[in-house]
Amino acid sequence: MADYDLVIAGGTVVTPADMFVADIGVADGRIAAVGLNLRGQRTVDAHGLLVMPGGVDSHCHIEQLQQGGGADEENFITGSTSALAGGTTSVITFSTQFKGHGILAPLAEYRRRAAKAMVDYSFHQIITDASDEVIFNEVPRVVAAGVRSLKVFLTYDPLHLDDRQFLRVLAAARRTGALVTVHCENYEAIRWRTAALLADGKVAPKYHAWSRPSMIEREATHRAIALAEMVDQPIQIFHVSCPEVAEEIARAQARGLKVWGETCPQYFVLSADDMDRPGFEGAKFMCSPAPRDAAASEGLWKLVRDGVLDVCSSDHSGWSYDTPVGKRVHGLDAPFRDIPNGVPGLGSRLPILFSEGVSKGRIDPCAFVRLVATNPARLFGLYPRKGTIAPGADADLVLWDPNRTVTITNSLLQHIIDYTPYEGLEVTGWPVSTIRRGEVVMKDGIVQAEPGSGQFLARAAYDLIKPTGNVPFGFDASAFLV
């Protein structure tokens, strides 16, 4: 007689802490048992494969509304398809605010759009206008609705916040029990260097990297940490591109601050040289912060091993190359300043990280699981429902062939974007099957999931992001609505 709805039999189970051969019994979409000789109504044979928690991508832009009207090309169906093809079962995407507007109406609109998703999903609430109404009335309501992270940009027109506005967001997060995630680059320094580059006729995509060298990211990271320390508000620094920036985070962590660091696959395998390809081709690799060089990439691995950078998300932000609405929206001669930033990466995140990390001997499979699933789930309040393999967790799993070598092509990734910056990259290690809440939703690259079968993940209060209680002179300024 079968004890479970489904048994994944004979694989090497990889948890955040250990690896062992076992069966996994699934009942009602959850992991019910991890053991030997389990019997299910259905069996998936996993002999010779790794069985890991489904990926949790805590930073990806899907169907994000644009200031000028319309939304990101990648929608919740195509984004889900790519995520599932690549072994990711949960995503945290964004609800954005436009200056002069509130955040409640956009969140309702994102909830409506995301109802089509086939992955489980949550949102970070972007704040671009820290008005009294938003900070004092709307943020508490958004957080109470389960959107327990706020996102701010310290650069980009028209998104960036000045320091005073940033402080107001930090204080609102402290009062409501939310995490703040930060895009750290110095707005004025980029504008100044960009003006000089354009004045000198340096307009090609490669000058994107020249406009924002690493000290611009390092300064903003240092400032974000100092201001968060003053407010006593936990933060995560998004998309760290190089060791100098991560070292700011390491120093903060050594002082006992709740500061976490995220990096992304593009900072391990791309470099500023990629933006120096002939003609407009470099635009395919343009993202912010800019990819640096091979030494920076290698240096990031050490900071991953040391635990300073403990999350690797995709920062999927796709703009097609050959369509009039994507990278070339302002024409093929557009100066770098006017080319949309961002690279697609939902489906390639796990294969690149596994290949560069595990297959090349830089990290072990448990560290890989922590980086792409457990740590993002913990940091964003989804653990232990997501991000691990243990009784009670959702049965979100990826069955992985660690020996399969694949040359990445865009079609394998199944996103809507018409290119991948990783075209031709050879990876060792590939997802064979993805299981979401006990349902096989991808097998051998074929994604079969009902649109709308993804669930909204409302995130309740959790201890990890509680303030430390240390404020300068014992005076908690965030208690005042200023």
Q: Which residues of this chain interact with ligand URP, rule CB under 6 A? A: 61, 183, 239, 287-288, 315, 317, 341-342
Asked if residues 86 and 60 have their Cβ atoms less than 8 Å apart, the reply is no
As measured in angstroms, the least distance from the Cβ of 41 to ligand URP is: 43
- How far apart CA 281 and CA 275 sit, in angstroms, is 7
- How far apart CA 126 and CA 124 sit, in angstroms, is 6
Is 53 in a helix, a strand, or coil? strand
**262 vs 396, beta carbon nearer ligand URP:** 262
The reply on whether position 63 binds Zn ion by CB under 5 A is no
Q: Kind of pairing, strands 179-183 and 235-237?
A: parallel
Query: Which one of 95-103, 121-129, 314-322, 402-410 is the stretch in contact with Zn ion (CB under 5 A)?
Result: 314-322
Is 403 in a helix, a strand, or coil? strand
Closest CA to 47 of 18, 20, 10, 102: 10
287 touches, from Zn ion, ligand URP, none (C-beta below 5 to 8 Å by class): ligand URP
Collect all residues with Cβ–Cβ distance below 8 Å to 199 and sequence separation of at least 6. Answer: none
As measured in angstroms, the least distance from the Cβ of 64 to ligand URP is: 9
As measured in angstroms, the least distance from the Cβ of 239 to ligand URP is: 6
As measured in angstroms, the least distance from the Cβ of 157 to ligand URP is: 13
Collect all residues with Cβ–Cβ distance below 8 Å to 315 and sequence separation of at least 6. Answer: 59, 60, 61, 238, 239, 264, 266, 287, 342, 343, 345
- Amino acid residing at 354: F
As measured in angstroms, the least distance from the Cβ of 317 to Zn ion is: 5
Question: φ and ψ at 265, to 5 degrees?
Answer: -55, -35
* x/- letters, 126..165, toward Zn ion (CB under 5 A): ----------------------------------------
Tell me how many residues contact Zn ion (CB under 5 A).
2
Q: DSSP letter for 238, please.
A: -
181 touches, from ligand URP, Zn ion, none (C-beta below 5 to 8 Å by class): none
Residues in the chain: 482
Is 10 in a helix, a strand, or coil? strand
Query: Which one of 85-93, 165-173, 315-323, 361-369 is the stretch in contact with Zn ion (CB under 5 A)?
Result: 315-323
Query: Which one of 158-166, 214-222, 313-321, 364-372 is the stretch in contact with Zn ion (CB under 5 A)?
Result: 313-321
The reply on whether position 316 binds Zn ion by CB under 5 A is no
CA dihedral of residues 324, 325, 326, 328 (deg, nearest 10): 40
* x/- letters, 159..188, toward Zn ion (CB under 5 A): ------------------------x-----
As measured in angstroms, the least distance from the Cβ of 413 to ligand URP is: 17
**124 vs 436, beta carbon nearer ligand URP:** 124
**341 vs 455, beta carbon nearer Zn ion:** 341
Whether omega for the bond prior to residue 289 falls within 30 degrees of 0, making it cis, is: yes
The reply on whether position 315 binds Zn ion by CB under 5 A is yes
As measured in angstroms, the least distance from the Cβ of 153 to ligand URP is: 7
**61 vs 168, beta carbon nearer ligand URP:** 61
**285 vs 383, beta carbon nearer ligand URP:** 285
**341 vs 359, beta carbon nearer Zn ion:** 341
Asked if residues 433 and 399 have their Cβ atoms less than 8 Å apart, the reply is yes
Cβ-in-10-Å burial (0-12, 13-18, 19+) of 250 comes to middle
- How far apart CA 202 and CA 199 sit, in angstroms, is 7
Question: What is the helix (H) or strand (E) element at residue 195, kind and residue range?
Answer: helix 187-199
356 touches, from Zn ion, ligand URP, none (C-beta below 5 to 8 Å by class): none
**246 vs 441, beta carbon nearer ligand URP:** 246
As measured in angstroms, the least distance from the Cβ of 444 to ligand URP is: 31
- How far apart CA 397 and CA 434 sit, in angstroms, is 6
**290 vs 398, beta carbon nearer Zn ion:** 290
Is 202 in a helix, a strand, or coil? coil
As measured in angstroms, the least distance from the Cβ of 317 to ligand URP is: 3
**76 vs 400, beta carbon nearer ligand URP:** 76
**DSSP character string of 208-226:** HHHHS-HHHHHHHHHHHHH
The reply on whether position 5 binds Zn ion by CB under 5 A is no
- Residues 355-374 binding Zn ion (CB under 5 A) are none
* Footprint on this chain of Zn ion (rule: CB under 5 A): 183, 315
